[in-house]
Amino acid sequence: MIIASNFKTNHNRATTKEFIDFINTQHFFSEVRIFPPFTALDDFDLTPNIKVGAQNFFPVQKGSFTGEIGFEQLDEFDIDTVLIGHSERRHILGETQKSICQKYDFAKAKECEIVYCVGEPQEIRKQGIEAVMSYIWEQFDSIDINYEELIVAYEPVWAIGTGLSASLDDIKEVLDSLRAKIKVPLLYGGSVKVETIKDILNIENCDGVLVGTASWDVKNFSKMIEISDNL
Ligand code: PEP
């Protein structure tokens, strides 16, 4: 199982270090991914099943792109796992499928592990599963789904940061459809909590979770990893 924490715009250098140091002292079998803000990236001494990744990057090694972070900066911290396509970047920050594909191809060329996020907004969900899947497949336009370092996260937009998780049946339906074409690990994300993670991880074709809000408290995150380990 893969248990991932997306800090978004939360935590600072000191609290990120405390968080990672705490997780590092735990012994577990699950694969753990932590995505802190750029300013908190550092040379962490990590146990092999933990990786610290980047929430975003600009698809260049280096150059003149004021305010952006390229791979020269990420390489300094040996970052080789990245989030791409998160709904907050697509819907709040206006990332297009074209710019997402540029990032995807760049990260693939760098042989990074890519956690690629897809998911439908509320108005599409209301139209039923066919509309949901056709919306999601469009988010795979020009994306190499056979890339061996790919992890796909299904994250319905309306469930992210709202406290409203998709139902177990709805998650299963989407993951089953994804699994029919995609062989890489499939995660669910959207208001996962300590109380709900076990049932979600027990869904067939669910290989883990990407968690925002409920993971920012290290004790909660650690509990989620423990639940995953004990499945
Ligand atoms: C996320 O940011 O990917 C996410 C799933 O957030 P939350 O758990 O807060 O819904």
Tokens 């299963």 identify what position?
172
pTM > 0.75: yes or no: yes
Q: Give CA–CA dist 112/150, Å, rounded.
A: 9
Candidates 86, 88, 113, 120; catalytic one? 86
Phi, psi dihedrals of residue 130, rounded to the nearest 5°: -65, -45
- Residue 210 CA to ligand 1 center (angstroms) comes to 7
Q: What percent of the chain is helix, strand and coil (3-state, nearest 5)? A: 40, 15, 45
Residue that the structure tokens 């791979």 belong to: 71
Q: Is 155 one of the annotated active-site residues of the chain?
A: yes
Q: Is the CB of 160 under 6 A from ligand 1?
A: yes
Mean pLDDT of 50-61: 98
Q: Tell which residue, 137, 132, 61, 54, has the closest CA to residue 97.
A: 137
125-168 pLDDT, tens per residue? Answer: 999 999 999 999 999 999 999 999 999 999 999 999 888 888 99
Report d(CA 89, CA 137) in Å as an integer.
Answer: 18
d(CA 177, CA 111): 27
pLDDT, position 165: 83
What is the b/e burial string over 148-177, where b = at least 16 CB atoms within 10 angstroms of the residue's CB?
Answer: eebbbbbbbbbbbeeeebbeeebbbebbeb
Q: CA-CA-CA-CA torsion for 180, 87, 125, 146, nearest 10 degrees?
A: -10
222 CA to centre of ligand 1 in angstroms: 16
Q: Is 190 in the pocket of ligand 1 (CB under 6 A)?
A: yes
Tokens of 29: 């079998």
- Is any atom of ligand 1 closer than 6 Å to the C-beta of 212? yes
**Contact 161 CB / ligand 1 (< 6 Å):** yes
* pLDDT digit string, tens, across residues 13-53: 999 999 999 999 998 999 999 999 999 999 999 999 999 99
For ligand 1, atom 2, name the residue with the nearest CA.
212
- What is the number of alpha carbons within 13 Å of residue 57 lying toward its C-beta? 32
CA of 63 to the centre of ligand 1 (A): 31
Q: Which amino acid type is present at position 218?
A: V
Per-residue pLDDT of 79-112, as tens digits, reads 999 999 999 999 999 999 999 999 999 999 999 9
